[in-house]
Structure 1
Amino acid sequence: MFFSVVIPTYNRKSILEKCLRALEHQHLTADSEVTGYEVVLVDDGSTDGTVDWIRTSAAEFPHVRLFGQNHQGPSAARNLGVQQAIGDTIIFIDSDLVVTEQFLQAHADGLEQGQRSLPAPATPNEPPRLFTYGRVINTCNFEQPTSEPYKVTDFSAAYFATGNVAIARYWLEKAGLFDTQFQLYGWEDLELGVRLKQLGLKLIKCHDAVGYHWHPPFALAEIPQLIDKEIQRGRMGVLFYQKHPTWEVRMMIQMTWLHRVLWGLLSLGGSLNERTLAPLLQWLIEQGKPQLALEIARIFLNWYNVQGVYAAYAEMQQAAS
């Protein structure tokens, strides 16, 4: 088993350094199934000096192979990474994820244990129909991201998410890689997950493969960008539904009457918004509770998302008529 860790990056040089250093300090057991690993870093047109820094620091990162493209988004970047990878097993993480020293070994153990629970492959060249999904812990602690404890809000029920997942390259190519139509924010990994599920792949939770997802502490200045992301996510959600028009996808993208009623009630029809809640959010931030402030902000952020979904769906229906 040879791992290719594929990482798309765009203007994240400061946290990327921590991400890559953690990957250079992996501990593999003496009897490990892992014969080696590489880090395939794909720069998606960064403008913060990422490429120059990697090139001048190459001696510090012997596992890293750097590739670049014009800014095309994470789907195209991950596809390029898979195409350039030499490993039989691909691990996807984001460039703001800092992993533990046992990260690669934990994924290897999870894949090996999962294989024992499945029937033999249909053909000799076919790898087991499974992938491992590690734990992602969100943190705003830049100096010591790995000191953050696991929280209820870190739970994810996603089937396939590229923040921390290991999968045989064979199945990615069989499914058709990422759809580059997803050029705005959101859903490209879950859409690939639907195709992988159709191929019968089993999700193996791998709690020991831990990654710490760093983001700056929430501030009011971020709100316009967060609202824009939710509107983009709504538009991409409708693209997701166009490809897979199922009730399950409608639930994922929040395009149901239930979500409309839920977030409409919680936001009081949109009256609890970025303007009316700003004093409370700022007070929580000043009290040292930026994460709580962000969770409260999700009330109106989800309302924007639902509104964006239905607006994009109406445009789709109008275009089809």
Structure 2
Amino acid sequence: MAIRYSIVIPTYNRAPQLLLTLASFETQTYQKQLFEVIVADDGSTDGTKEMVEGFQASYPLIYVFHPEQRGRSAVRNLGLRQARGLYIIFCDADFLVLPEFISIVSRYHRKYPKAVLSGFPYSWDNAYTHYYPGFSPEEKEHFRSTLTQSNVWRADFDTANDIIPLITPEDILRQTDALSKVAFPSRVPPNIKKQFASTDVAPWMLLVTRCVSMRRSHLTRIRGFNERFVLYGLEDWDLGYRLHRLKIPFYCIKEVVGYHQEHPTYLRGEVLNTENLKIMFETYGFNDSSLNLFALVPPSEDLETYKNTLRVLRRGIRSKLTRPSALLLRRTLRMAAKQFFQPNNTPAYKKTLQKIKKESMNRKSRVAHVLREMVLKSEKLVE
């Protein structure tokens, strides 16, 4: 039978977590001959190769690797080139999927066959599958609090210098209650989850590679990830943005399909990498306010303000009464993005902002209010 789903798992030195993730695919209710798992290794040095090659999978398991680390985009493309499925599911090495995962994705794709399906924001919860000596003091305190409530806290965690597993592959395979004792709700505020789920503006932000599925033909058409993105940040949204430009729809999977295996924050890297944002501006220019706004309101820092600003701008453009303010807002965002990308002629930039501020001073619409806020943020770019 033909492979329908290719699960691409990029990894770099995540062997303990990856082992559990691979075990979780053993429990899938979806027919195993209809999916394959491709581990794409970006030059790991922690025994990932030996672990994967020694894993006795009942599903097709493929291991490919880069001899040296080349970055998050390149390693995903490496896995993508091996894929045979009609659909590609990108799944992080630290995402522990539930048994119904592929079955749920398949059900959604039957309803939305050409869409991008995202596990966010409904699968944002976490689980402490391992103790890490590299946890920050705050992370260690949360770890202690979570495990104490479930009566699985051990005193030796305080002095441990090595990674300690709390969940074993056998727990996953036998579906014991061990996972429920170390799982905990995401600390992401409900309003942020609501904004992620909203697709009225910037729907492409749903493309978060922890858990996302789409047609392989769409990825082939846009040539996969942009390999200029080497460090953490924006490589997934860049891919989503290009798919959005093809008018491909985005939908949330509203069921919980897995848990993020918690690890020290420092392993994630910068949430907003400014060099990567400059690559986006260099690639797409400055004609899209949803990109220009990144320079003033990074969505990773304030998603609610980001999306509401785009909504106000869109409504403002549609109304004759507020269109002048909306056009000034659009102009302000474009100027700020250009200044962020390449500071040039700062006195002229400041002078223009002052002029825009003066024009908006006596306007009372919501658009004018947001315009003044964005002018203030634009001024801070050159302070």
Q: Shorter chain as normaliser: what TM range?
A: 0.5 to 0.7
User: Superposed, which structure 2 residues align to 1:285-296 within 5 Å?
Assistant: none
Counterpart of 2:19, as a letter, is E
User: Superposed, which structure 2 residues align to 1:127-142 within 5 Å?
Assistant: 129-134=114-119, 135-142=122-129
On the 8 A contact 1:146/1:212 being kept in 2, the answer is: no
CA distance in 2 between partners of 1:106 and 1:41 (Å): 22
How far the C-alpha of 1:60 sits from its partner, in A, is 4.0
Tell me what 1:289 maps to: none
CA distance in 2 between partners of 1:313 and 1:51 (Å): 45
1:184-241 deviation line (CA, Å, top 9, x unaligned):
11101101111100111111211225121122266xxx4xx77x625x6122122122
Superposition RMSD in Å: 3.0
CA distance in 2 between partners of 1:199 and 1:311 (Å): 24
Tell me what 1:176 maps to: 223
Tell me what 1:15 maps to: 17
Tell me what 1:229 maps to: 270
Are 2:21 and 1:4 equivalent residues in the alignment?
no
CA distance in 2 between partners of 1:103 and 1:37 (Å): 12
How far the C-alpha of 1:311 sits from its partner, in A, is 12
1:227-280 deviation line (CA, Å, top 9, x unaligned):
x625x61221221222233221133x3x11x66xx99xxxxxxxxxxxxxxxxx
CA distance in 2 between partners of 1:314 and 1:199 (Å): 27
CA distance in 1 between partners of 2:86 and 2:291 (Å): 30
On the 8 A contact 2:127/2:259 being kept in 1, the answer is: no
1:250 to 292, 301, 304: 292
Worse overlay, 141-150 or 58-67:
141-150
Tell me what 2:56 maps to: 59
Percent identity, aligned pairs only?
A: 26
Tell me what 1:99 maps to: 97
How far the C-alpha of 1:53 sits from its partner, in A, is 1.7
Unaligned runs of 5+ in 1: 116-128, 264-309
CA distance in 2 between partners of 1:13 and 1:204 (Å): 31
Counterpart of 1:172, as a letter, is L
CA distance in 1 between partners of 2:339 and 2:208 (Å): 24
Structure with the greater alpha carbon radius of gyration: 2
Tell me what 1:306 maps to: none
Task: Report the TM-score when normalising by structure 1.
Answer: 0.67
Are 2:180 and 1:193 equivalent residues in the alignment?
no
1:16-56 deviation line (CA, Å, top 9, x unaligned):
1111100121002xxx8x9600001011000111102222x
Task: Report the TM-score when normalising by structure 2.
Answer: 0.57
- Structure 1 stretches (4+) deviating beyond 6 angstroms? 310-313
Tell me what 2:87 maps to: 89
How many residue pairs match? The answer is: 243
Tell me what 2:208 maps to: 161
Tell me what 1:27 maps to: 29
